[in-house]
Chains A and B, each alone.
Chain A
Amino acid sequence: MQTTKEAPVKMPLDDSNPLGRPDFISVKDFNFFYGKKQALYDINMDIPERQVTAFIGPSGCGKSTLLRNFNRMNELIDGIHNSGDIRILGKSIYDKGVEVISLRRSIGMVFQKSNPFPKSIYENVVFALRISGNSKKSELDECVERSLRGAALWNEVKDRLHESALGLSGGQMQRLCIARAIANRPKVLLMDEPCSALDPIATVKVEELIRELKQQFTIVIVTHNMQQATRCSDNTAFFYLGKLVEYADTQKIFSNPSEKQTEDYITGRFG
């Protein structure tokens, strides 16, 4: 709460979407196609603010595709199209006036495979500030410390900020990518299987971090690991063959799913 208040970015004044409204991200009748192949069918869901929402489901079920629509990353691919709408705080992300670079700046993203730039740790963190023309040293320094602390990496790297990021361990690299993603003070953090390439110890650290970060960010996480979903998410959505099968409180999904397909999946009968 504190951090959000300090942020220079202002909350929208539109009072039909007051901050704290539960449906922070809302997906309406959303269909998505790669060329002729339909990947998502009529998705409707509301994602609440400052909670962790997990997307689960077998490979190719569309969970990553939906995640990548929240910051319009799918638009990097040729031949995609969609229908329906995705609104964040009531604002359509497909609105004509929305510049995709502003949208992505407001939404952090962490990928399956850590992807630090071949630059120093410092330059990785301040990347987004630099490209938007901010080069005030005091602000950059402040941002580096705040972001690295936020990603629980500060103590490990504070003495080698200007060394190459490629010298870090796998877990450290992934936390650096989290630091880089939160450097812009986004409102939403998208995580696409952030732990699938990490060893168990590094995974524990990142999961702790996720629980920590939800104080400040609305987090959506795609995961293959059901234990991970139970450990760190508040809500869970189960996708199957491009459809949203069930979406509920994590505890309910894992203890008492209402759909047969969900139960089959979480009990390991398929997928």
Chain B
Amino acid sequence: MDSIASYSLGFFNNDPSENTKVIARSLKNRILSGICIALSLLTMVPLISIIFLLLKKGLPLLGLNIFTELPPAAGMAGGGFGNAIIGTLAMVGIGLAISGPAGILSAIYINEYSPASRLAQAVRMVAKLLTGIPSIICGVFAFAVVVMATGTFSAYAGGLALAVLMLPTIILTSEQALMGVQSAYREAAYGLGATRFQAIARVVLPDAFPAIMTGVMLAVARAAGETAPLIFTALFSQFWAKSLNEPTASLSVLIYNFSTVPFPHQIAMAWTASLVLVAFVTLANITAQTIFSRRH
């Protein structure tokens, strides 16, 4: 037996069959690590492919006119999707105007006023369940409540659908944000004779504000990319919107409409709109994360 073999593997034993087993186990270990790494890296392929195509097919049409002109009619060249960008911003704005206050106030109630109450537990439960509801159901709801009642597709209907979509995210992230405020701060405020409202308004909310904004931005990012809740609530429009009570274009519905037509120019425009949309969503996500990291 050479000295290397007697030194190797088994620390206190030189049993060759034992050593073979150890070699086999180590080999198996390495193979499994390799498989795991390979499977994980496989995930990068779709992402790289999507980003590559967005740039390759989306960049050629990207210009200032994209933001200022109206969508071209079927088979026509030129144009842009300025109305869809404004429509998306308007409907996300309406959604935020409804879900922001409702969500943050709910979160304040369930974390600051009565965390253990039945109502608070019900809010948490419903918020969890709402996150699991398909986004298209938000659209169905807004269709029933607004479109069927007013008889017209509108930005209001789309905004309401997005509000329902955003609400649970805002509640759950705001609750986390409020929970992150040290209870010593609250006690200090009460100790100085502050009322509960004063403690919340002057101490708790300012401290939790960046984290709440993070949640709000995440909700905005998600809502901006959604198509399903808008497709039959806001529908689409080829024109600049004159009011919020008429069919309204949005980036995501434009992508959907243009992706299934047989005209290359429209398809190219769908890619450009996708590029703009992904850029906007990514920007919102990055903003959300930087707000958060600035605090911590």
> What is A's interface to B at a CB cutoff of 8 Å?
8-14, 88-89, 91, 93, 95, 97-99, 101-103, 105-107, 131-133, 187
23 contacts between A and B (CB under 8 A): A9-B10, A10-B15, A11-B12, A12-B6, A12-B12, A13-B14, A89-B12, A91-B7, A93-B11, A95-B8, A97-B7, A97-B8, A97-B9, A99-B9, A99-B26, A101-B22, A102-B9, A102-B10, A102-B22, A106-B13, A132-B21, A132-B22, A133-B25
In the complex, what residues of B have CB within 8 A of residue A11's CB? Answer: 12
Contacts of B10 in A (CB 8 A): 9, 102, 106
Chain B's nearest CB lies how many Å from the CB of A75?
14
Q: Which residue of B lies closest to A134 (CB)?
A: B21
Known: A132-B25, A133-B21. A98 touches B11 (CB 8 A): yes
Closest Cβ of chain B to A103, distance in Å, is 5
Q: A residues within 8 A CB of B12?
A: 9-12, 89, 106, 187
Q: CB-nearest residue of chain B relative to A107?
A: B11
Is B4 engaged at the interface, CB distance under 8 Å to the other chain? yes
Q: Whole-angstrom distance between the alpha carbons of A105 and B15 in the complex?
A: 14
Nearest-Cβ distance from residue A252 to partner chain B, whole angstroms: 31
CB of A139 to closest CB in B, whole Å: 14
A101 surroundings in chain B (CB, below 8 A) = 22, 25-26
Whether A102 contacts B15 by the Cβ 8 Å rule is no
Q: How large is the interface on B (under 10, 10 to 19, 20 to 34, 35 or more residues)?
A: 10 to 19
In contact, A91 and B21 (Cβ under 8 angstroms): no
Give, as a whole number of angstroms, the nearest-CB distance from B6 to chain A.
Answer: 7
| CB atoms of B9 and A10 under 8 A apart | no
B21, A103: Cβ atoms under 8 Å? Answer: no
**Measured between alpha carbons, how far is A132 from B15 in the docked complex, in Å?**
14
Q: Across the interface, which residues of B come within 8 angstroms of A105, CB to CB?
A: 11
Least distance between B116 CB and chain A CB atoms (Å)? 29
Asked if B9 and A98 make an inter-chain contact with CB atoms under 8 angstroms apart, the answer reads yes
- Using A9-B10, A99-B23, A102-B10 as known contacts, list a sample of 13 further A-B pairs with CB atoms less than 8 Å apart, ordered by residue number in A: A9-B13, A13-B6, A98-B7, A98-B9, A98-B11, A99-B8, A99-B26, A101-B22, A102-B11, A102-B22, A106-B11, A132-B25, A133-B21
Please report the C-alpha to C-alpha distance between residue A105 and residue B26 in the assembled complex, in whole angstroms: 14
- Inter-chain CA distance A22–B35, complex, in Å, is 46
Closest chain B residue, CB of each to CB of A97 = B8
The complex places the Cα of A72 from the Cα of B230 at a distance, in Å, of 59
- Tell me the minimal C-beta distance from B165 to chain A in angstroms: 39
What are the 10 A-B residue pairs with the smallest beta carbon separation, nearest first?
A97-B8, A9-B13, A106-B11, A103-B11, A106-B12, A102-B10, A102-B11, A97-B7, A99-B9, A99-B22
Which residues, 154 to 201 on B, are CB-close (under 8 Å) to A?
none
With a cutoff of 8 Å between Cβ atoms, the chain A residues found around residue B25 in the complex are 101, 131-133
Complex: A14 Cα to B1 Cα, angstroms: 12
| B11→A91 contact, CB < 8 A | yes
Please, which residue of chain A has its CB at the minimum distance from the CB of B12? A106
What residues of B have a CB within 8 angstroms of the CB of A102 in the complex?
Answer: 9-11, 22
Q: Output the nearest chain A residue to B29 by Cβ-Cβ distance.
A: A101
Chain B residues, CB < 8 A from A12: 6, 12, 14
User: Which interface residue of A12, A102, A105 has the most chain B CB atoms within 10 A?
Assistant: A102
Q: Is the CB of A98 within 8 A of B6?
A: no
In whole angstroms, what is the CA distance A8 to B13 when docked?
9
Question: Which residues of chain B are within 8 angstroms of A133 by Cβ–Cβ distance?
Answer: 21, 25
Residues of chain A with a CB closer than 8 A to B23's CB? 99
Cα distance A131–B28 in the bound complex, in angstroms: 12
Inside 8 A of B11's CB, which chain A residues have their CB? 88, 91, 93, 98, 102-103, 105-107
Cβ–Cβ < 8 Å partners of B14 in chain A: 10, 12-13
**Residues of A close to B22: CB separation below 8 A:** 99, 101-102, 132
Interface flags for B271-282 (1: CB within 8 Å of A; 0: not) read: 000000000000
Chain B residues within 8 Å of A131, by CB:
25
**Which residues of the partner chain B approach A99 to less than 8 Å between Cβ atoms?**
8-9, 22-23, 26
Nearest Cβ distance between residue B171 and chain A, in whole angstroms? 34
| A14 lies within 8 A of B21 (CB) | no
Q: Which residues of A lie under 8 Å from residue B26 when comparing CB positions?
A: 99, 101
Q: In the complex, which residue of chain B has the Cβ closest to the Cβ of A92?
A: B7
Query: CB within 8 Å of A: which of B1-41?
Result: 4, 6-15, 21-23, 25-26
> Could you tell me the distance between the alpha carbons of A88 and B13 in the complex, rounded to whole angstroms?
13
CA distance A135 to B6 in the complex (A): 27
- Within the complex, the shortest CB–CB distance from B117 to chain A, in Å, comes to 34
Minimum CB–CB distance from B5 to chain A (whole Å) comes to 8
